Amino acid sequence: MSYTAFAAQSRVASGSLVEVVTALKALSPERATLVFDDSTGHCVELDLRGTLAEALARLPADATPPAKAGPGRPKLGVVPREVTLLPRHWDWLASQPGGASVALRKLVEAASRANRACDAARLALEACHNFLATMAGNLPGFEDATRALFAGNFNAVPAFMQDWPADIRAHARHLLHEAQNAAYEARED
């Protein structure tokens, strides 16, 4: 995974979370920073107190929360959750070979394979928008850039970013390029 850190409107670090934290610890501690997960465009909360080793030790081992122990097949990573369906759906699921769980797993697996490119395009678009909303939401041209982004008019977006600070504009263009590539891949499928 890739992360990017900004102090005010300047990009100060980019790379793995370890690389970003190492770079941030070398900065002046008074500098307020925002760290973005490049795959989602969301800010990541980091605890940079103490030494570099202490800050690195507090980094999450994985972005996903650990599975709760309980019924299911924990060795396979099966996690029980609640699903709400209409009675006719439950009836159909109960009539399937292997029962409701097997049928649902097969349906989800087939849907995830069939929609992989479209899901990647949607996530890349959302990541670009999330970053733009946080870092450029008050800048001139933001609303027009967002409209063009969601309209899939990727070539028009850079024109609305001309007056933005260079580092914000550069990272926005990088995320825009990722969204454009993902959208192209989705159209090809």
Q: 12 near 1, Cβ under 8 Å?
A: no
At 112-167, the pLDDT tens digits run 888 888 999 999 999 999 999 999 999 999 999 999 999 999 999 999 999 999 99
Q: How far apart are alpha carbons 106 and 167 in whole angstroms?
A: 45
- Neighbour count for residue 85 (Cβ, 10 Å): 12
Structure confidence by residue, pLDDT tens digits, 36-77 = 999 999 999 998 888 999 999 999 875 333 445 555 555 667
Q: How far apart are CA 80 and CA 87, in angstroms?
A: 20
Single-letter residue type at 148? A
| Concatenated DSSP letters of 9-65 | TEEEEEESHHHHHHHHHHS-TT--EEEEETTT--B------S-HHHHHHTS-S-SSP
Taking the model in full, what pTM does it have?
0.74
